[in-house]
Amino acid sequence: MGGHMTTRISQSLPPRLLDCRGLAIDCAAGPVVVGIVNVTPDSFYDGGRHSTTEAAVLHAQRLIEEGAGMLDIGGQSTRPGHQEVTEAEEIARVVPVIAALVGHTSVPLSIDTYRPAVARAALEAGAHVINDIHGLQREPELTMLAVRFGAAMIAMHFDESFAFPPGDVLKMQLSYFRRTLAIAVEAGLPPDRLVIDPGIGFHKTQEQNLELIARIGGLRSLGLPVLLGASRKSVVAHVLGLPPEERLEGTLATTAIAVWQSVEFLRVHDVRANLRAARMAAALRNSLS
């Protein structure tokens, strides 16, 4: 099963292309599945399975063969209760993987980090995207690095007070991402290099997580591509009462709901299954147009 189509950029981009440092993803061509590559010993689902460079590279290659249109490579777990690692350790985990992949694949490589030093090392190794869990609102240097290297950014919603104030969850997120977009524009990062992610599971109640998935299409009103990252997370566990290794079916339901709302990117552990569910949901949605 082939991956999502990428092309070399030669001139200006049409509005629906995401510019990833010279590689373009056509967001209008169908859902893009982003394969997760955790080079960590402690991630909540696959921690330790791909913690060596060799294992991570092999896993990444499998995800590409299954149809991944992007890979998101991380060396620091952000699960609840995670242990911080040093910048040097995070760099040592991710850079060899990126360096091994960059010359042998046509899909963009994303570095999942909130540390500028790690992002810089990853970009120097050839990464195309910075995935910032703080939505460009904590480390300005990350945005400046993306501008300097021509990289794209994924901006996730992360607000430690978000679970407590009353109000419309989607309205609050739209306000947050308007600030993100303003930061990007002021720094010189054009909108065709920005994706937004509602941050399922990050300082949110179960009710907020469910509402965000059910209404995620509303985020597209900002004119930016949207990414859902709900794969095997606790939002599934709270509904089905299952451990991470048994949450695939629940994840596929979130994928179908997101694609029905025209969400462009799906960050998942299981590429083949989610890509099939996404394509089926897209076909059903498109049959009504």
Using H for helix, E for strand and C for coil, what is the string for 129-171? EEEECCCCCCCHHHHHHHHHHCCEEEEECCCCCCCCCCCCHHH
Q: Which domain holds residue 154?
A: 28-286
Cβ neighbours for 241, distance < 8 A, ≥ 6 positions apart: none
Domain-embedded: residue 15:
no
Q: Is the pTM of this model over 0.85?
A: yes
Q: Is residue 18 part of a domain?
A: no
Name the H helices within the chain: 53-65, 87-102, 116-125, 140-149, 169-187, 206-214, 234-240, 248-260, 271-286
9: in domain: no
Q: Would you say residue 22 has pLDDT above 60?
A: yes
pLDDT over threshold 50, residue 14:
no
The total number of residues shown for the chain amounts to 289
218-235 pLDDT tens trace: 999 999 999 999 999 999
How many angstroms separate the CA atoms of 18 and 20, rounded? 6
> Beta-carbon neighbour count of residue 223 at 10 Å?
9
Does residue 81 or residue 227 have the better pLDDT?
Answer: 227
Q: Tokens 């509602």: give the residue.
A: 198
**Domain CATH for 133:** 3.20.20.20
Query: In the predicted model, what is the mean pLDDT of the chain?
Result: 90
Token match 């995800």: residue?
A: 63
Q: What is the mean pLDDT of residues 156-183?
A: 86
In a domain, 249, yes or no: yes
Judge whether 3 lies within some domain. Answer: no
Q: How many independent structural domains does the chain possess?
A: 1
Residue 161 lies in a domain: yes
Q: CA 128 to CA 45: how far, in whole Å?
A: 25
For 4-34, letters b (16+ CB in 10 Å) and e give bebeebeeeeeeebbbbbebbbbbeebbbbb
CA-based angle 230:144:268, to the nearest 5?
Answer: 15
Q: What is the per-residue pLDDT across 87-108, written as a single tens digit (0 to 9) for each?
A: 999 999 999 999 999 988 889 9
- Beta-sheet pairing, 32-38 with 23-26: unpaired
Exposure letters 147-162 (e unless 16+ CB within 10 A, then b): bebebbbbbbbbbeeb
The pLDDT assigned to 289 comes to 74
End-to-end CA distance of the chain: 27
pLDDT higher than threshold 70 for residue 11: no
Closest CA to 112 of 137, 88, 142: 142
Residues noted as catalytic: 233, 267
pLDDT-derived band at 12, boundaries 50, 70, 90 = very low
Residue 114 lies in a domain: yes
In a domain, 19, yes or no: no
Q: Specify the pLDDT at position 233.
A: 96
